[in-house]
Structure 1
Amino acid sequence: MGKNTGWLGMAMLVGLLAGCGGGDGKDTASGKVADVNFLADNAAWREQRKSELLAPDGWTSLVGLHWIELKSHFIGSGPGSGIKLAVGPAKMGMVTQQSGRIFLTPEAGAQLTLNGEPLKGRVELQSDRDPAPGVVGFDDGKGLLTVIERGGRHALRVKYADAESRTQFVGLDYWAPQEAWRIEGRYIPHPPGKTLTIVDVIGVANESPNPAAVEFERDGKTFRLEALGPPEGPLFFLLADRTSGHGSYSAGRFLDAEGPKDGKVLLDFNRAYNPPCAFTPYATCPLPPAENRLDLLVEAGEKAYAKPIKVL
């Protein structure tokens, strides 16, 4: 590649990255042109985010959540099923719960797999709370069935690669990237073993490890977020702000950060992202605790998802 061609390519890249999310390449908080490396890193993160959502088993493929209420249920997509699936074999098998354990007996002739191997007889299905959750495959791997546990109850979670929510995905929308929303905060450790009560969208409360809080400055004011995760490890934040329901997803957003370095944590609000519930009604997303509801307009990161309009 010649020197002039290289500069032209770089200029085109900057213009393309700046255009993502409707920006002009300027940090609107300061008026200065955003750093090329910052724009490139942000664009790469966005591309990875999209790829994960659109993976065959990503959140956009989620098509069902079925609670196991009785001792036994026949499951399948046929009319005679006690738990009727939206996809898959008409008769898949029978799900049984015994003393908090879930078993699946496949229907004769049903082409199923368990963790990639042919499923021939009755098996126990480990849930998402277990070290090695069981994954039942069907329709030549397009469909996946797993067990989740929430508040002592179990449910079947169904994903399908050809789900409309995946095949008709309309894309993600973002505020223009701004370096001013990359904010260094102060890591304030909590006593060992501290937890924070987190309630999810189905009303189940769980105690989550709460190793620290992070304080940061914005617009001359101090704000505080409670962090979730292992001590000294990667941090996870559930947050809501004044854009929630007014540009960003109404139930709040997620934010990841690396563990503290020299007592500091970098909060990059350009990478605030929607929970799975923004894309599917079958997820069981955690909600931001009261401590993380910011009186701050965070016009950065991912905006509310505009679901495709169905034509009747």
Structure 2
Amino acid sequence: MIPRVLLCGLLVLSVRSATAAAAAPDPAYVASLERARAERVERLTRPDGWLSLVGLHFLAPGANTVGTAADNQIVLTSGPAHLGTVMLDESGRATITLNPAADARVNGRQLLSVPLDETGAYGPTVVTCGSVTLFLIERGGRKALRVRDSESPRRKHFAGIDYFPIDPSWRVEATWVPFEPARRIAIRNILGQESPALIPGKAVFEHDGQKLELLPLVESADEPLFFVIADATSGEETYEAARFVYADPPRNGKLVLDFNQAVNPPCAFTPFATCPLPPKENRLPVAVRAGEKKYRGAHD
């Protein structure tokens, strides 16, 4: 006869083993996450990835001289002493006139003066000089030069990404509740600027018996739903501003939210990104210990 104490111990061990087996992630699912994470690192670290950002310079009306010399209105961290001058007119149109001695290229061609187009037929107008590239963006109704350097120290000294253990319980099926009509709310970015966002509905789900809701932002009709979230780990275990979660559009009133694929925004890696902050509805009262942890590398 098996002693009662030993029998109880075997039963507890059996229950724990069964629970662990039930909670173990599917190997195919783990493999898919690992592929996605490897692709993300590749995108971050490529020469024109987020780690290459070295500047975000808002333009003043009129002439804006650009270069590494201290007498420029816009002082770059690398590149020629005097790259050229960007003229911003009253209509918001920007034109760059390059210093011939800088030996710069505009979309691969030697040009001395050209309008800076944000969204041309072939993409934005890109000025290249050595390892440095710059182009025009608009944020909060203001025009700015975004500057990249493929030799950026952040890119060269990338510390890698840390993750929480994969937790299948944080891959949840949510109910889609459409808004008729879609709502518009103001979304603030990390610079304090606000812009309107279209909210077509909300995702409603449960985790550990608690009902939770999230609002997605719509970037374009052919893009996944985009959720900007914060939770009880924000500022401690995860990046303080936000994390991003993407999901395929709902089908038959359902969608899958996989928090194991929650990622840090670009501003977790560089101070020169302009990331959106979560609306108050997306500040979850629970700790989402899934996906990416706080970046441990240099930021500023």
Q: Same fold (TM over 0.5)?
A: yes
The residue matched to 1:119 in structure 2 has which SS? Answer: coil
Question: Counterpart amino acid of 2:95?
Answer: F
Q: CA 1:232–1:281 in structure 2 vs 1: closer, same or farther (change >3 Å)?
A: closer
Q: State the Cα distance separating 1:127 from its structure 2 match.
A: 2.4
Aligned to 1:12: none
1:247 corresponds to which of 232, 237, 242 = 237
Aligned to 2:94: 102
Q: Distance in 2 between matches of 1:240 and 1:110?
A: 45
Aligned to 1:83: 74
Percent identical pairs in the alignment equals: 40
Q: State the Cα distance separating 1:257 from its structure 2 match.
A: 0.7
Aligned to 2:189: 200
Aligned to 1:269: 259
Say whether the 8 Å CA contact 1:76–1:89 is kept in structure 2.
Answer: yes
Q: State the Cα distance separating 1:226 from its structure 2 match.
A: 0.3
Say whether the 8 Å CA contact 2:270–2:299 is kept in structure 1.
Answer: no
Say whether the 8 Å CA contact 1:129–1:148 is kept in structure 2.
Answer: no
Aligned to 1:223: 212
Q: State the Cα distance separating 1:159 from its structure 2 match.
A: 0.6
Aligned to 2:117: 126
Q: CA 1:261–1:131 in structure 2 vs 1: closer, same or farther (change >3 Å)?
A: farther
Q: State the Cα distance separating 1:152 from its structure 2 match.
A: 1.8
Say whether the 8 Å CA contact 2:100–2:112 is kept in structure 1.
Answer: no
The residue matched to 2:100 in structure 1 has which SS? Answer: coil
Question: Counterpart amino acid of 1:35?
Answer: D
Q: Distance in 2 between matches of 1:217 and 1:132?
A: 42
Q: Distance in 1 between matches of 2:171 and 2:260?
A: 7
Q: Distance in 2 between matches of 1:185 and 1:29?
A: 25
Aligned to 2:225: 235
Question: Counterpart amino acid of 1:253?
Answer: R
Question: Counterpart amino acid of 2:63?
Answer: S
Q: Distance in 2 between matches of 1:27 and 1:57?
A: 47
Q: State the Cα distance separating 1:79 from its structure 2 match.
A: 2.7
Question: Counterpart amino acid of 1:297?
Answer: A
After superposition, residues 103-182 of structure 1 pair within 5 angstroms as 103-115=95-107, 117-127=108-118, 132-139=123-130, 142-182=131-171
Q: State the Cα distance separating 1:31 from its structure 2 match.
A: 5.6
Q: State the Cα distance separating 1:196 from its structure 2 match.
A: 2.2
Structure 1 residues 2-25: Cα deviation after superposition (integer angstroms, max 9, x where no partner): xxxxxxxxxxxxxxxxxxxxxxxx
Q: Distance in 2 between matches of 1:40 and 1:239?
A: 25
Q: CA 1:146–1:259 in structure 2 vs 1: closer, same or farther (change >3 Å)?
A: same
Q: Distance in 2 between matches of 1:309 and 1:232?
A: 32
The answer on 1:40 being equivalent to 2:31 is: yes
Q: State the Cα distance separating 1:270 from its structure 2 match.
A: 0.3
Question: Counterpart amino acid of 1:62?
Answer: L
The residue matched to 1:277 in structure 2 has which SS? Answer: helix
Question: Counterpart amino acid of 2:69?
Answer: G
Say whether the 8 Å CA contact 1:211–1:231 is kept in structure 2.
Answer: no
When structure 1 is superposed on structure 2, of 144-153 and 286-295 the one drifting more is: 144-153
Q: State the Cα distance separating 1:197 from its structure 2 match.
A: 1.3
The residue matched to 2:180 in structure 1 has which SS? Answer: coil
Q: Distance in 2 between matches of 1:306 and 1:66?
A: 26
Cα RMSD over matched residues? 2.3
Aligned to 1:17: none
The residue matched to 2:35 in structure 1 has which SS? Answer: helix
Say whether the 8 Å CA contact 2:260–2:291 is kept in structure 1.
Answer: yes
Question: Counterpart amino acid of 2:268?
Answer: A
Say whether the 8 Å CA contact 1:128–1:149 is kept in structure 2.
Answer: no
Q: Distance in 1 between matches of 2:253 and 2:19?
A: 29
Say whether the 8 Å CA contact 1:75–1:91 is kept in structure 2.
Answer: yes
Question: Counterpart amino acid of 1:100?
Answer: G
Rg larger for? 2
Unmatched segments (≥5 aa) in structure 1: 1-25
Q: Distance in 1 between matches of 2:221 and 2:201?
A: 8
Say whether the 8 Å CA contact 1:193–1:209 is kept in structure 2.
Answer: yes
2:180 corresponds to which of 182, 191, 199 = 191
The residue matched to 1:210 in structure 2 has which SS? Answer: strand
Q: Distance in 1 between matches of 2:282 and 2:197?
A: 14
Q: Distance in 2 between matches of 1:58 and 1:29?
A: 39
Question: Counterpart amino acid of 1:250?
Answer: E
